[in-house]
Amino acid sequence: METVGLVVKRNKPEAVTLGREVAAWLRQRKKTILPEDASSKELGFERGWRKVEIMQQADLVVVLGGDGTLLSVARRASMREVPILGVNLGGLGFLTETTSAEVFPTLERVLGGEFEVERRSLLEAFLLRNGTQIDSFQVLNDVVINKGALARIIDLETWVDDQYLCTYKADGLIVATPTGSTAYSLSAGGPIIDPTVAVVVLSPICPHTLTNRPIVLPDHAYIQVVLRTADEDVILTLDGQEGRSLQVGDTVGIKRAGVMVSLIRSPNRTFFDVLRSKLRWGER
């Protein structure tokens, strides 16, 4: 691993401080560093690289921040499965399992080839208007269609492959990966899914019909959601970080992406350890 990408959460002083320390540590080991352009000056570099460029060129990407920062990197995954080391600067994250105190011992092991990765699936979403694709996205967590603050219940006609599922009358619909099952989908009553299981979950948001429950589907399914409500403020949101306005008749197509994300596992804790910590299972 000769080229290391470095992505630091913006406007977080402790992240910048740790980023400078990581950069100095990597320089001592003669590594080429690709800092993200948004924080490169703060880290002491003359120039930076866009996240998509980092994912195309780096042998390893170190992310200092939280799960949101890691999501912004993972969504730029290319056909090269670059190992990503996520370091959480607060409490443990579902994606950023390594703590700041563990950074340098973990980096030492990773650069020495002593690490395991967990391959996470991505979804690809397409926005079609009048039968023409006008945009496409990759997500690690979820694709969400929901109404604006003042909009009424919306109708979302939903198909799985060539089979009609139902028309959700709800505040919205979440289509989540197993990784995203512990995010917005969980808040909407969706199940927690082991991140290595090859499925996708559909979770309606506040459905008008209470029997509309979350449903788990195989991840090779092609899901189509058609907006059937006019004159309402409806938004398509990708991983909670990008958004597009929808019009009546717009179709959102969702399928498994052709690339995977490789997250470096923490040797100190498992997915279930993080679940117990984050969700406070077993506490009274």
Give per-residue pLDDT as tens, 3-51. Answer: 999 999 988 889 999 999 999 999 999 999 999 999 999 999 999 999 9
pLDDT of 154-202, one tens digit each? 999 999 999 999 999 999 999 999 999 999 999 999 999 999 999 999 9
What per-residue confidence (pLDDT) applies to 94?
83
87: pLDDT confidence band, cut at 50, 70 and 90?
Answer: very high
What per-residue confidence (pLDDT) applies to 271?
87
3-state secondary structure of 200: strand
**CA–centroid distance for 19 within its chain:** 22
151: pLDDT confidence band, cut at 50, 70 and 90?
Answer: confident
Amino acid at 84: I
Mean pLDDT of the chain: 93
Q: Which domains does the chain have, with CATH numbers?
A: 3-116+265-279 (3.40.50.10330), 122-257 (2.60.200.30)
For residues 270 and 282, give the distance between their C-alpha atoms in angstroms, rounded to a whole number. 16
What per-residue confidence (pLDDT) applies to 111?
94
Q: Is the pLDDT of residue 91 over 70?
A: no
Catalytic site residues? Answer: 67
Rounded percentage of the chain residues whose pLDDT exceeds 90: 77
List helix spans (H) across the chain: 13-28, 51-57, 67-74, 103-111, 184-187, 271-279
What per-residue confidence (pLDDT) applies to 162?
93
